Amino acid sequence: MKKWQFWLGVLISVFFVWISLRGLRLGEFWDVVKSANYWWILPGIAVYFVGVWVRAWRWHYLLKPIKEIPTRRMFPITTIGYMGNNIYPARAGEILRAVILKRKEGVPVSASLATIIVERIFDGVVMLAFVFINLPELARLTSDSGFVGNIQQVAVYGTAAFVAALIIFLLAAMFPAITARIGQWFIERVLPLRLREKMSGIMHKFLDGLASLRSPINILMVFVTSVIIWLFETMKYWFVMHAFGFTVSFFALMLMNGIVNLATTIPSAPGYIGTFDAPGIAVLGAYGVEQATAAGYTLTLHAALWIPITVLGAYYLAKEGIKWNDSLRAEAE
């Protein structure tokens, strides 16, 4: 909390919360919240955790060239990581699960971080695919929602960024020797002598983490599992929608899923406060959903996505006897 980045994230979250709630009639909002059928959240949570299990399998698959670790042992570490993302700023959960994986399985942090970055790149590609599948809806969304603005242009730039990152990682994976020579050249010319040996070791372990991308079959498997993961999450959106008595198409929820998750890449307070909610409410408003209903649904969905995985991750963290103390913090840094 002493770092300026934390307070910048808080200010950004406050701004997005203001955007999402301005003009909201609290009486109507409260009526929507009171009348919702919250039993629909339970099947939504169930399908979400199926998606988390697939995430753990995908991570196990990416790590297979380094070490064969059963998915059942990856699942608790995965939930701890997502818990960390929810309660610590700057997606610190990604570092947390890499550090815990090293403690439990001996996998170098730099190697596991390479696989985590690959996960995020594929997630971004799938999110943008969800947006592009709904291109006919985007014109309506752009014209009806002043907040979302020209989402088509944002999608194009985002796609270019994620595809460029994916190409760079694929080339690094396919040509590790050339990549290592290029990296060593920069290390020797940019870094001081005392850091060169250490950074060279980190670089080689990082390249080891990209080994799963050297096979087209592996790339296809990672992409397919990424699509499955986000379809399961969209199914949760669909189940929670039924609790609030409005109807939009599954494709509209895919569009909402893609936009809100891309928006959560914006720095914010822990838990993606505001950056998840404002675009979600705006998307539903563009589909004609009343603001009170859209706000009640989006805030409930956010809580249903946040609370179960955070509680389960905290349980596994306590079960493993691991505490976010100075030694763990130092290891993560």
Token pair, residue 148, equals 């979302």
Which amino acid would we find at residue 294? A
pLDDT tens-place string over residues 143-167: 554 444 555 666 667 677 778 888 8
Instruction: Output the pLDDT for position 59.
Output: 93
pLDDT of 148 reads 47
- 174 close to 82: Cβ distance less than 8 angstroms: no
* CA distances to 106, 111, 294 from 199, in Å: 19, 13, 49
Report the pLDDT value the prediction gives residue 310, as an integer from 0 to 100.
Answer: 95
| CA gap 316, 75 in Å, rounded | 10
Task: Give how many domains the chain has, as a whole number.
Answer: 1
Instruction: Give me the mean pLDDT over the 70-85 stretch.
Output: 93
Instruction: Give the relative orientation of helices 151-174 and 135-144 as an angle to the nearest 10 degrees.
Output: 130
In contact, 71 and 330? CB cutoff 8 Å: no
Residue 276: which residues within 8 A CB-CB, separation 6 or more? 260, 263, 264, 298, 302
Q: What is the mean pLDDT of the chain?
A: 85
Q: State the residue range of the domain holding 277.
A: 4-332
* Pairwise CA distance, residues 208 & 114, whole Å: 8
- Tens of pLDDT, residue by residue over 23-56, are 888 888 899 999 999 999 999 999 999 999 999 9
Q: What is the pLDDT of residue 331?
A: 61
**Residue 127 pLDDT class (50, 70, 90 cuts):** confident
* Angle subtended at Cα 100 by Cα 177 and Cα 312, rounded to the nearest 5 degrees: 130
CA proximity to 12, closest of 277, 261, 306: 277
Other CB atoms closer than 10 Å to residue 3's CB: what's the count?
10
Res. 78 pLDDT band, cuts 50 70 90: very high
At 210-265, the pLDDT tens digits run: 888 888 888 899 999 999 999 999 999 999 999 998 999 898 899 889 888 888 88
Instruction: Please report which residue ranges of the chain form alpha helices under DSSP H.
Output: 4-21, 26-35, 41-63, 71-87, 92-105, 109-133, 135-144, 151-174, 176-190, 193-208, 216-242, 250-263, 277-286, 291-319, 326-332
Residue 292, CA distances (Å) to 55, 299, 311 in order? 33, 11, 28
pLDDT tops 90 at residue 301: yes
CA separation, residue 99 to residues 77, 112, 137, 324 (Å): 10, 9, 42, 11
Predicted pLDDT of residue 147: 46
Of 43 and 288, which is predicted with more confidence? Answer: 43
* Per-residue pLDDT, 133: 79
The count of other CB atoms within 10 Å of the CB of residue 146 is 10
Contact 267, 4 (CB under 8 A): no
The predicted structure's pLDDT at residue 2? 57
Contacts of 282 (CB under 8 A, 6+ apart): 20, 145, 147, 148
